Structures are given as structure tokens and as C-alpha cells.
Amino acid sequence: MTGILGIVLIIPIIAYLVFAEFISRREERRYRTDIISDLPTLSSSTPSSSESTQSSQTTASNPNNLSWKGWRDMVVDAIQDESPDCRSFSLRPADGELMPRFKGGQSISVRCKPSEEADSPKPVVRCYSLSSGPGEPRYRITVKRVPDGRMSRQLHDTIQAGDVIQIQSPRGHFHINPDYPERPLHLIAAGIGITPMLSMLLQSLEETPNREVHLYYQLRDQTNAPFLKPLRYLGNTLAQTGKFQLHVWFSRPIEDADSLTDSALDRITTGRISAAQIIERTGSGEGDYRICGPSVFMELMATELIQHGIDEASVQYESFGGKAKGPGAIAVKNSGASETDELKITFTQSSCHTTWNDPSVSLLDVADDAGVNVDASCRAGQCGACVHRLIKGNVRYDEQPECDFEDGEVVMCVARPETDVEIKA
Ligand code: FES
């Protein structure tokens, strides 16, 4: 009898506690979501007025069955300058259908028709990290204008709101793991390397609001500083929670110190970020580390962190745009062999004959070294920019490329020859 009475009394108490926990988590999440959506440039740019009557919800919570194969038309919904040479483009699907929710840190391949003055009729393809949060209604990329960059010049100089560009479904293994929210998350960015970090930060705030997140941001100065203003606002606003901290380094002396008079001031340092400083600030150094920026910066940071005792498996860095390889890198894995038989490589369109015998070298590297002009962007088998026809021979991939390609084609950036090969390039 006593037992039954106990059960009768305890059930409502447990129900109340569960409900109270649910309400408290929901309120906290709403609080953070409201803060994020209040930031004019941290969340996706406001849709253009011509679209204001359309549904604003274009991403879906189920990521699995909405990803698509091949290219999809996207309308450039809004354009926003983030710094003198960095510009954001918000994208919505031209077909009006939903887009998959992605993982913060993933990227998309972007294809534009060649501009009028382009010297080649081939469309340009480049891979860009998404800078929006996975839960936002628009995809957003933020592109730095590079003087000799065909795609970045085209996007900055010719693309207007309302234009259509094409993208592939978000991909990539460079993202956070939300399954361990008790582990602090350390995001380390230099310059435009902020874009995947921003996406990871937004995902973390949305999905695991109690996770401790540190963003370490290396910049030249406060002028060339994409997203710095809203990030500092966010850092100050969430300072009371102790869950998000922004740490900024300016490599040039701070000119207008009076403009940095809020509570984030003590987190702005002149000089260069180092692993020792990061670990000193966080105490134990425990947690997951993600790094994005120039190759030299990433390799140095990853190496330093590991030298300071951080577990190699906890350190990952983005390897786009270069041949970055190293501890924890998501670059192409070396097969382990240091040398192999010499194989003949022929690039038929360039009438170039060369050889290969180093398993760490991809066919794209061979083309680069031989002066054969091959388009490339991600160098990680994701964007499809380097896909060419394989006329003769066999290749292998240490990891299957994620981009779309057909039988008889080769994804050069991640391919190694198994026989003599001929490539139409
Ligand atoms: S450069 Fe992107 S797939 Fe090869």
C-alpha cells in the first residue's frame, strides 16, 4: 500500500521536473536564437523586398533526403559587404523547394556562367564554406575578392541581387561534433577563414546552447575584419552566460583604441595568435579544435597545439585551396608508401608528357608542376572543378571523391595513377 502511494506521489513530481527542464531549455534556446537573429550581419542577410512575399523558410530540418545531385539554380537573394574586400551572398533555390539543413563548416561548390570578358568559355567552379547557420532560411557564402581570382572577381564585380548562380548540395567532413556538448569547442580562424567557424558557432549556439565555445580570430586590423562587429556584440551579450568568448588578435597596431571600449576590449590583443596563448586562456586546453585560414597558419597552429599536448584526434583544419596536410588534417591521406614505379602521365590537350612516382602527389599536383592549366578549388574531391576525361589508364582514390563524376572521368585532385594514364587536359 505504501509502495503504491509512493508511486502515485512521485509520478507527478517527476513529470513536473521534466516539464520544468523542457521549458527552461526552450527559453534558453529562444533567448539565444533571438540574440542571433537580432544581429544584422551574423545571421543571413535580409531577403530583398521583391522576395518578401515568398516563404522565408527554405531549409528543412531533415538533412537526409533533401540533398541533391548535380547543379541547382539559386537566386542571389541579398548581397552584403562584410569588409572592404569580403562580400556575402544569400541564396535561395530558384525552384522554391526546400534545401537540406547542413552541418556548420560544410561547403558548397558554386558555378557561374563565364562573364562576357572571360577568356575561357568554361564555367568557373569554386568551393566556398557556408557562413550561415544550418538553421537559417537561406544559404550564405562570404567571398573575399582576390585580384587574380576569376570566380571572386566575377561574384564581386558582376553578380547582382536577383541573378541566378548554380550550386551543388553542401558537403564536407570539416564540421563540429555536437554529440559531446560537455567538451569545450575551440574555433580558430584567420581572415576569411572565419566563414566555416561562423557557421559552426551558429550551429553550436542553436543546438547545444550550454556548450562552452571559444572563437580565436586573427585579423590584420579592425578595418579588414569580416563579421567582427556582430561577433563582438554577441560576445558581450553572452558574456553573462560564460558560454561564449571571443578572443581577437590584430597583427597591426590598434589605431583607434577608443572605438574598442566595450567589455570585449581585454580580449583584443596586438600580435599573433599562438597555441600557448590559447591554452593559457582556457586552462586545461581540453576540447575540440577546428582551424581555418591560410595553409601556413593552419599547419602551424595544428602542429603547435599537438606539441602542447592536445590530442591529435581533436584537431582538424580545413584544407581548401592548398596542399595542406598534417596532423589531424582533412586532406588526402597518404597511402603510406614513399615511392613507387615511375608511371607516364600525358595531358593530351596540352601535349604535355611527364611522370609520376610519389604516392603523396595527386594528378592535379602533377599537372600544376608541369604547368598544365587545370581548374581547381577545394583540392579535396568535393567541388568537381578538377574533373577531366580519363582517356587511358586506371587511377585510384584513397577516399572516394564526394563530387559528381562519371565513368571515364577522373577527379584529379584526389587521384593517384595505377598505370600510365592519359588525361584530356
Ligand atoms: S579541386 Fe575540387 S574536386 Fe578537385
Superfamily (CATH) of domain 72-167: Translation factors (2.40.30.10)
Q: Is 378 in the pocket of ligand 1 (CB under 6 A)?
A: yes
Q: What is the CA angle 407-330-373, rounded to 5?
A: 55
Whole-number Å distance between alpha carbons of 295 and 3: 66
Per-residue pLDDT at 349: 94
Convert 105-128 to b/e letters by CB count within 10 Å (16 or more is b).
bbbbbbbbeeeeeeeeeebbbbbb
The band of 24, judged by pLDDT with boundaries at 50, 70 and 90, is very low
Ligand 1 centroid to Cα of residue 285, in Å, is 34
**CA-based nearest residue to 184, from 274, 103, 290:** 290
Residue range(s) of every CATH 2.40.30.10 domain in the chain: 72-167
Per-residue pLDDT at 92: 97
Q: Is 246 in the pocket of ligand 1 (CB under 6 A)?
A: no
Name the residue type at position 355: T
Whole-number Å distance between alpha carbons of 255 and 90: 32
Q: Is 203 in the pocket of ligand 1 (CB under 6 A)?
A: no
Whole-number Å distance between alpha carbons of 16 and 37: 31
Half-sphere exposure for 93 (CA within 13 Å, toward CB): 19
Mutate to test the pocket of ligand 1, among 126, 174, 366, 378 (most ligand atoms within 8 A of CB): 378
More confident residue, 38 or 299: 299
**CA-based nearest residue to 269, from 285, 254, 291, 284:** 254
Per-residue pLDDT at 306: 94
> What predicted TM-score, i.e. pTM, was given to this entire model?
0.76
Per-residue pLDDT at 48: 40
**CA-based nearest residue to 264, from 233, 220, 293, 219:** 233
The band of 69, judged by pLDDT with boundaries at 50, 70 and 90, is confident
Q: What cell does 189 get?
A: 580562424
Whole-number Å distance between alpha carbons of 177 and 189: 18
Per-residue pLDDT at 55: 44
Per-residue pLDDT at 163: 96
More confident residue, 194 or 135: 194
Q: Is 384 in the pocket of ligand 1 (CB under 6 A)?
A: yes
Ligand 1 centroid to Cα of residue 256, in Å, is 42
DSSP string for 335-390: -S-S----EEEEETTTTEEEEE--TT--HHHHHHHHT-----SSSSSSS-TTEEEE
Strand order in the sheet with 268-270: 268-270, 244-250, 213-219, 185-190, 288-292, 315-317
Q: Is 379 in the pocket of ligand 1 (CB under 6 A)?
A: yes
Specify the CATH class of 185-318 in words. Answer: alpha beta
The CATH number given to 343-423 is: 3.10.20.30
Ligand 1 centroid to Cα of residue 249, in Å, is 32
Given a contact cutoff of 8 angstroms between Cβ atoms, the answer to whether 391 and 416 are in contact is no
Residue range(s) of every CATH 3.10.20.30 domain in the chain: 343-423
Condensed to tens digits (0 to 9), the pLDDT of residues 289-315 reads 999 999 889 999 999 999 999 999 999
Mutate to test the pocket of ligand 1, among 125, 377, 402 (most ligand atoms within 8 A of CB): 377
Ligand 1 centroid to Cα of residue 421, in Å, is 19
Q: Is 108 in the pocket of ligand 1 (CB under 6 A)?
A: no
Residue range(s) of every CATH 3.40.50.80 domain in the chain: 185-318
Backbone angles phi, psi at 280, to 5 degrees: -60, -40
More confident residue, 422 or 59: 422
Mutate to test the pocket of ligand 1, among 107, 174, 386, 409 (most ligand atoms within 8 A of CB): 386
